Amino acid sequence: MANRKYIVGNWKMNGLRAQLSDIAAIAAIAANNEGADVGICPPATLIAAAAEANPGFAIGAQDCHFAESGAHTGCLSAAMLKEAGATYSILGHSERRADQQEGDAEVKAKAEAVHATDMGAIICVGETEEERDAGQAIEIVTIQLARSFPSGASADWLTIAYEPVWAIGTGRVPAASDVEEMHAAIRVKLGELMGQGSDDVRILYGGSMNGGNAAELLAIPNVDGGLVGGASLTAAKFGPIIEAAASS
């Protein structure tokens, strides 16, 4: 795959205005590493300030409602996020699938809403430890992908993130051979789902990626980048991942 690497920091429910300086430092490192595409998805409360302070740096959202507007207390529409300065959104993260009971159909609708607003989407898929132990990982993930897959998908706006649930925030990373097998299976499924152009859709790996393992993970075939949680919160931790991506 000749895809340019794409590294996205998912700040989850972390970050107050004091942490805007970390985003500025990360944006500066990204500007010095033009070989990779880099972005940060801060909490929604920081999107506008982060986008205004770092023009040209890709600020994203962590979720988006599928409706354009209406009676959805506490939710944010794609137009709202875009106006705040987000150019893309993570969708269907396993924490939201678990905590907010988001299902595949909802994730698909969210991706279509984001696209309708001219934003990018990063759709997350991944198996639990029980599913992997039962030998069902590939089946579960490819079904999740098919059911979450938006209509009109193209590599211009769609990215997939494979995040084994048991690797998120645990310090545990799957064997390189398992990552390779899963990313290859996702690539085949993308071909079935969208035909032409599927090779250009970037497939990120997520789950305990850090400065020590990034180069190895990013060298695996069909691993086109990373979705990074804990190790994206400071420039000191995220910088080495960006550098590994830019030189891989």
Q: Which of 235, 179, 180, 241 is nearest to 210 (CA)?
A: 241
Q: Is 243 a catalytic residue?
A: no
Which one from 95, 102, 163, 243 is the annotated catalytic residue? 163
- Determine if 213 is a binding residue for ligand PGA (CB under 6 A): no
Is 4:214 a contact under the CB 8 Å cutoff?
no
Nearer residue to ligand PGA within complex by CB, 111 or 228: 228
Provide CB contacts within 8 A for 95, sequence distance 6+.
Answer: 12, 168
Please confirm, yes or no, whether 163 is among the known catalytic residues: yes
Please, are residues 205 and 164 in contact by the beta-carbon 8 Å criterion?
no
Applying CB under 6 A, among 194, 229, 235, 244 the residue interacting with ligand PGA is 229
Our finding on whether 244 is near ligand PGA (CB under 6 A) is no
Under the binding rule (CB under 6 A), the answer on residue 35 touching ligand PGA is: no
Ranked by CB distance to ligand PGA, the top (closest) residue is 229
Which of 65, 93, 115, 183 does the annotation list as catalytic?
93
Helix extents (H) in the chain: 20-31, 44-53, 78-84, 94-99, 104-116, 129-133, 137-148, 176-194, 214-218, 235-246
Which residue, 163 or 224, is less far from ligand PGA as judged by CB?
Answer: 163
* Footprint on this chain of ligand PGA (rule: CB under 6 A): 10, 163, 168-169, 206-209, 227-231
Would you name the residues annotated as active-site residues?
93, 163
